[in-house]
Amino acid sequence: MFDVRNGNVVRPQEGTPYGEKIFVLKPGQRLPFHFHWNKTEDIISRCGGTLMIQLYNSKDDESMDETSSGYVYIDGVQTRFSAGQVFEIPHGQSLTIVPRLYHRFWAKEGGAVLVGGEISTISVPKTDNRFGGNARRFVPIEEDVPPTYLLNIDYKPLHEVA
């Protein structure tokens, strides 16, 4: 996952008022189920393999609702989904994920490496992710040397940089 750009949630009027990411997934490589409390995002199939997206509504207690149906937008067209439905997204097409909608996506088994993207409202990964089950965004790592490359959440906010 590569952050191409991302605005500042504290001062959204300054700079870029949205976020953009590029991701690369090997066939069968899956992100865990999660939702965002605030972020709306378009998940876009760019090239290579086939993008698969599975959806569930969330309940008031933030658990996954395995029975209710809902609506999403595919390239701006409202589309009904059933609990757990999997969408196959062709290249150039996008599916809009709204807040509190559980989702996971992956590159279809048996296909090629997938290049996809995300255009979203400003992304705040430290505070706007709710993972389903026992999933976590990052597994704990015991650091034995300083990191060579930082993740987006590892950078200090600009107001803290001297």
According to DSSP, the residues that pair with 86 across neighbouring strands are 54
Query: The pTM is what?
Result: 0.83
Secondary structure (3-state) at 135: coil
| Residue found under tokens 């597994």 | 139
- Assess whether pLDDT exceeds 90 at residue 94: yes
Q: What average pLDDT does range 48-77 have in this prediction?
A: 96
Which residue would you say has higher pLDDT here, 150 or 70? 70
**Per-residue pLDDT tens digits for 120-155:** 999 887 788 888 876 666 667 788 898 888 776 677
Res 135: pLDDT: 67
Return the ∠ at Cα 84 (arms to 134 and 135), rounded to 5°: 10
- The structure tokens listed for 20 are 């953009």
The two tokens of residue 17 are 């008022």
pLDDT (mean) for 108-116:
96
